[in-house]
Amino acid sequence: MKIGFDNEKYLKIQSEHIRERISQFGGKLYLEFGGKLFDDFHASRVLPGFHPDSKITMLRELKDQAEIIIVINAADIEKNKVRGDLGITYDMDVLRLADAFTSFGLLVSGVVLTRFDNQPSAIAYEKKLQRLGMRVYRHYPITGYPSDIPYIVSDEGFGKNDYIETSRPLVVITAPGPGSGKMATCLSQLYHEHQRGIQAGYAKFETFPVWNLPLNHPVNLAYEAATADLDDVNMIDPFHLEAYGKTCVNYNRDVEVFPVLNAIFEKIQGTSPYQSPTDMGVNMVGLCISDDKTVCAAANQEIIRRYYSALCDRRRGNGSDKPVRKIELLMKKAGISVSDRPCVQAANLKAEQTGAPAAAMQMEDGKILTGRTSALLGASSALLLNALKYLADIDDSIELLSPTVLDPIMDMKVKHLGSDGSSLLHLNEILIALAIAGVSDRNAAAAIGKLAELKGLEAHSSVILSQIDEGVFKKLGVNLTCEPKYETQKLYHK
């Protein structure tokens, strides 16, 4: 993979910048952490060289100074809101996040239930967390938030919220997803700290959009594509331009809320430390791009992938026309089309030639491999085996898995596990069979040894794959897209 981002430089200057911001506020900083603290695969795709766990690694360098507070909207608990990327509810993700942070040696100080209004599910969840030994705090809905500043910054507003007990200079506020109340939690704490005579500040860590890249840079356009369903729009920060005469990029929600946020700072502390929403940020990622051409190419591919994702979401009934149309406009801005993704044309051509679903993958050297549907193997399974043979330099004529291996597996599925016999073997089943074959077959063993080299490769399917097969490609790090259509006309698809 071509590298376009200096990860070591990023870790160094990012932690240094956060330390500087802590010092700016007298030794106490509430840092609102947007996006993903770990497993940030979007960032690693658009910034080749960025490690998915870079942000958590950076925090580990500050672990003696940092503690983490996880916030969750009580209304999201009540309605069992689900994280689309993980398929788990927000309340379960809080536990997952707490375990993950702890495994990295970071201190998790507690959980805040925001917009708490005595929801039965939230009360039950609070008791569950307490039984697990976690400190839980309640923050309540505030009438007139965020515009009625005199009421918000009063004993009946922020003053009604529980004060979060913290002990370290850096308090990271994070959440399972957007709309959880991270910023309000930070502001509430500033109010409580000020009431106690403790000096504290607020800053925001949001990786995208990248403030010091041009508005229509592919990396920033890729962020808009990733948030097409949220109506986020990148824009020039007018407050920063007026204050400093410099053009910086931010997004609409931060720009829109800044006057209110600024007024709250002034009400709490007497003066605001910031002249613009860009001032609030601490993100240094834009200073660590080492090869802009490589980054632009990667970001353009991400935009196309997001386009196919939006198309498939619409086909599944989980999305609308709006994100699709928005990403089409972004593609025009970037001067790209689906033809800039070579595996798309190859998969669709193979499907047309065979009259059945097909798949294609672009290897690191640019070669395009394809897979077709057969009696036992689906196109994605055939493609995966072909790619492993190519990487292991195994002749294409050699069968890695013979029917004598595959037939008994299919027989087991049909006779004992309830399969209707029409579905082919899934990718996970193929890989398990390959691993077993590798015990006695050197070619199968060599193929298994090449699995890690699939990471970062581009693939396309002429039909929407099953959730199982999509999940396997994701775990292998293959960047998969699919045509927005199913293999069959059934109404229910697994």
- Compute the Cα dihedral for 384, 385, 390, 391 and give only its sign: positive
Is residue 346 domain-shared with residue 258, that is, in the same domain? Answer: no
- The C-alpha atoms of residue 150 and residue 140 are separated, in whole angstroms, by 17
Residue 311 lies in a domain: no
CATH at residue 126:
3.10.630.10
> Tokens in use for 227?
């948030």
DSSP for residue 465? P
The answer to whether 126 and 240 are in contact (CB under 8 A) is: no
The answer to whether 171 and 29 are in contact (CB under 8 A) is: yes
- The C-alpha atoms of residue 212 and residue 17 are separated, in whole angstroms, by 15
Distance of alpha carbon 334 from the chain centroid: 22
The per-residue pLDDT for range 326-352, each reduced to its tens digit, is 999 999 999 999 999 999 999 999 999
The per-residue pLDDT for range 349-382, each reduced to its tens digit, is 999 999 999 999 999 999 999 999 987 789 999 9
Residue 487 lies in a domain: no
Is residue 65 domain-shared with residue 169, that is, in the same domain? Answer: yes
The answer to whether 74 and 65 are in contact (CB under 8 A) is: no
Q: Which residue, 288, 306, 325, sits at the end of a domain?
A: 288
Count CA atoms closer than 13 A to 42's CA, side-chain side. 19
Residue-range definition of the domain harbouring residue 397: 341-482
pLDDT value at residue 315:
94
> Tokens in use for 429?
């089943």
Could you please report the per-residue DSSP string of 260-290? HHHHHHHHHHSS-S-SSHHHHB---GGGGBS
> Tokens in use for 166?
């913290």
- Say how many domains are in the chain: 2
CATH at residue 424:
3.40.140.40
Residue 2 lies in a domain: no
Residue 294 lies in a domain: no
Ranges of the chain whose pLDDT falls below 50: 492-493
